[in-house]
Structure 1
Amino acid sequence: MLGDEALCFNCPVVVDSGQSLNSAPEAQIRQINGQFLFAREDEGLFYLNCANKRKGRPITLVFSEDAQFALDDYFLEDNQ
């Protein structure tokens, strides 16, 4: 998992693709997306399950070599 977060079953969160900071290599992008079981065709807004109900920016998922992100941008946000 990214950071200290873990996925569970009862905490819906928004995954917002398209907000990011740093360029990422393809292997790192695949690793990030694989942890959430998303593929390139899934880019957009999604709902995940989270364990922690931290508040802040939603998770940013990236799906291409030229996508931008920083690992610090990734955390789970309660959508309720």
Structure 2
Amino acid sequence: MTTDTTPLTLERMRADIAGMLGETPDVVGDDEHLMDLGLDSMRVLGLVLAWGNTGIPLEFGHLAEHTTLRAWWNVVQRLQGLTPA
């Protein structure tokens, strides 16, 4: 998983999720149910902590209510100010 402070991108998120699961990024589709792929709450917390290092105010609750990478990316874009709330 990446631990740098560069802006969070969709592809970085995909790669980090895949790394948590021990898979390649191509396994993590935009609309795959992440829990069905094996992501659990402890891994999500790890991702939140790592992605929080990018400077966005990401919290566990932001992601816990969504189940796909696409939904997570929409949350991140809002928090980065890239899309309207």
TM-score normalized by the length of structure 2: 0.29
Higher strand proportion: 1
Higher helix proportion: 2
Which is bigger in relative contact order (C-alpha 8 A, separation at least 6)?
Answer: 1
TM-score normalized by the length of structure 1: 0.29
